[in-house]
Amino acid sequence: MLGGMRWDRYAKVLSALEERVGALEAKFADIRPSVEIALRRRGLSVAAMNPLERVILPRLPAPDAIDRYYQDLKRYYFRRILQEVAERGGLDASALSALSSRWGEAATSRYLRQLVGYRILEPRNNGYTFSFPHIHSLGDTLEWFVAQVFGREFASPAAWGVKLRDLRLGGDFDVLVHVEHLLGYVECKSSPPYNVTVHELRQFLDRRRRLGPDFAILLLDTTLKIERNIVENLRWLWRETSTQPFEVSRLFEGIYHVSPDVYLVTSRRSLVFNLGRCLRHRFKVAV
């Protein structure tokens, strides 16, 4: 009897503690670091974020599949092959031959096997069919991956495919990130630099102006040079929209800084490494 009474008392104490913890979690939810909180503090509200409809993800029940897939996406050739698969909607014998010529037979075979393992591709008639026929580019998947990079590698909350209610025009943002109380905006381009139009660059600068982030990154998933197609076009557009001089400096191979708060990042060496270099520069960490 005594034991039962003691248990009832402990159960009540435990229940009361659970209620207090729940109340504290609710109370402090709004001050935990997040992109949405950073936007709310700027008087902005989110209409939509983190859409998965057009993100290419493993179709596996294995709990570690996303982690393995994330590691694979760090590899430039893996992303390029996945991009071509999405653009083509599958691979026939001719496409397989072209891929092997471009990226090497060993890398192509290895990454195609991995895509089959993720059930992103299905072997069919001497080729492969794509399991996401409604997706025709790597764009949304690249945004998802970049948001994952900020969260996993730099412990910084990030969101992709963000739509804001409060901006009259230009309220769509590829990736927004909250780093050390700063709001960052990342525009992602999976196309080669010669396919990035002046109109797209103008949209990037316009979104940056409307949002007013603490820093902005134009990320180009390419190992090609960007001086002519990107840097010079930005220089020309900058003169149209800004009273500040266009001062560009090369931080490292494939990484540029446009004073005061814009970075141009490519995949030369490593996309993850290059994003880290941008953060180190932004926070004035010696390199």
Averaged over 209-231, what is the pLDDT? 95
Distance CA 176, CA 185 (A): 5
Distance CA 128, CA 81 (A): 13
Work out the angle at residue 278's Cα, subtended by the Cα atoms of residues 272 and 281, and round it to the nearest 5 degrees: 140
The mean-pLDDT minimum among 49-58, 132-141, 160-169, 226-235 falls in: 160-169
pLDDT band at 31 (very low <50, low <70, confident <90, very high): very low
**Nearest Cα to Cα of residue 230 among 243, 242, 217, 241:** 217
**Tokens found for residue 106:** 């060993």
Decide if pLDDT at 28 tops 50. Answer: no
Distance CA 58, CA 68 (A): 10
Distance CA 243, CA 239 (A): 7
Predicted pLDDT at 1: 47
Predicted pLDDT at 131: 95
User: Residues of the chain with pLDDT > 90: what percent?
Assistant: 76
Domain boundaries, the chain: 1-30, 65-130, 139-282
User: Residues of the chain with pLDDT > 70: what percent?
Assistant: 87
**Tokens found for residue 195:** 């396919």
Predicted pLDDT at 16: 67
**Residue 161 backbone dihedrals phi, psi, to 5 degrees:** 55, 45
Predicted pLDDT at 128: 96
The mean-pLDDT minimum among 61-70, 132-141, 144-153 falls in: 61-70
Decide if pLDDT at 281 tops 50. Answer: yes
Decide if pLDDT at 26 tops 70. Answer: no
**Mean per-residue pLDDT over the chain, rounded:** 89
Averaged over 255-282, what is the pLDDT? 95
Decide if pLDDT at 29 tops 60. Answer: no
Predicted pLDDT at 242: 80
pLDDT band at 256 (very low <50, low <70, confident <90, very high): very high
Most trustworthy range by pLDDT among 89-93, 96-100, 214-218: 214-218
With contact defined as beta carbons under 8 Å apart, do 175 and 186 qualify? yes
Q: Which residue has the higher pLDDT, 147 or 239?
A: 147
Predicted pLDDT at 11: 64
The number of angstroms, rounded, from the C-alpha of 92 to the middle of its chain's C-alpha atoms is: 30
The CATH number of the structural domain formed by 139-282 is 3.40.1350
